[in-house]
Amino acid sequence: SQTIHQWPATLVQPVGSPLSLECTVEGTSNPNLYWYRQAAGRGLQLLFYSVGIGQISSEVPQNLSASRPQDRQFILSSKKLLLSDSGFYLCAWDPGQGFEQYFGPGTRLTVT
């Protein structure tokens, strides 16, 4: 069976510090991978998606970036965090058929 991991689970970072969130998927190959951000109790904002190694599409211009160094690894980064980067970050995957997405447990980021 497939599983998706995210870490860290929670993170408190000062403004201006760098960020690296990691997501890995097990039990599948060549998945589509997604990064979302969610405000409290609200819907999901798509940040980045990837259909393959090194292929990244950005949905929202901002100070975040994403990379996919391996088939089942997706990384969300920032060089300098802003207060507005605080939120709940979710990684998701789908098998590439545009059918169903499966989510990781999320990372709660607080920028102070």
Partner 1 sequence: TQLLEQSPQFLSIQEGENLTVYCNSSSVFSSLQWYRQEPGEGPVLLVTVVTGGEVKKLKRLTFQFGDARKDSSLHITAAQPGDTGLYLCAGVAGNQFYFGTGTSLTVIP
Residues 17-76 that bind partner 1 (CB under 8 A): 34, 41-44, 46
CA dist 100 and 71 (Å) reads 19
Among positions 66, 90, 109, 111, the unique one binding partner 1 when judged by CB under 8 A: 90
Residue whose CB is less far from partner 1, 79 or 108: 108
Region of 13-21, 65-73, 75-83, 84-92 interacting with partner 1 (CB under 8 A): 84-92
Residue whose CB is less far from partner 1, 71 or 94: 94
Among positions 11, 67, 95, 102, the unique one binding partner 1 when judged by CB under 8 A: 102
Whether the CA torsion 77, 50, 96, 45 is positive or negative: it is positive
Minimum distance between the CB of residue 53 and partner 1, rounded to whole angstroms? 19
- SS in 3 state form for 2-66? CEEEEECCEEEECCCCCEEEEEEEECCCCCEEEEEEECCCCCEEEEEEEEECCEEEECCCCCEEE
Residue ranges that bind partner 1, judged by CB under 8 A: 34, 41-44, 46, 88, 90, 92, 94, 97-106, 108
